[in-house]
Amino acid sequence: MLMLWAVCAVPFGVYAIVQNFNISLQLQPQCFGGLTLIAWGQTLYYHNHYKAWSAALTTLLVAASFAVSEAILILTLRGPYKRGVEWPMIMMAVSASVIQALGLIAPYFELAKRSGRVIGIDFTFLTVDFAGAFFSLMALGNPPYYTALTGRS
């Protein structure tokens, strides 16, 4: 589940950057992917019993490969998008959404194994997660002063 979420951050990041969304929406997929990879690295250490340095190195190498992949995709897809070719960006958005949805399936199997009993719920995490979703949604709006200050609509 965590690796699927980390993987989906790459196409989400490409989509946000190539579409030239505001900076908060461009950074959000990077933060999401980074934090998800940290959680994945902790899973390697605690659940899979990797040594600490091995889990950290593996996580850093995966993060670097994601960063390189995202940079290549951004550089490759920016030109066609500026020329009006939109299907590659649609594919980025659709693939990211499908990968994220696949990552959401695993918790339901865990719930089914435990007869619907939730184990390890963290309300601090849920609050931070909700705040991230809320502020991402708020970032989509264009306040009137934004147009006046930047000349952009």
Residue 16 lies in a domain: yes
Domain of 45, in residue numbers? 2-115
In a domain, 152, yes or no: no
Nearest C-alpha neighbor of 69 from the set 12, 133, 139, 31: 12
What is the number of structural domains in the chain?
Answer: 1
Q: In this predicted model, what pLDDT tens digit does every residue of 87-124 receive, in sequence order?
A: 999 999 999 999 989 988 888 888 888 887 877 777 88
The answer to the question of residue 51 being in a domain is yes
Structure confidence by residue, pLDDT tens digits, 18-58: 999 888 889 989 999 999 999 999 999 999 999 999 999 99
Structural domain includes residue 136: no
pLDDT at 145 over 80: no
Output the CA–CA distances (angstroms, integers) from residue 138 to 31, 63, 141, 149, in the order listed: 17, 28, 6, 18
Alpha helices in 19-143 (DSSP H): 23-46, 52-82, 87-113, 123-139
Using CB atoms within 10 A of its CB, is residue 143 exposed (0-12), middle (13-18) or buried (19+)? Answer: exposed
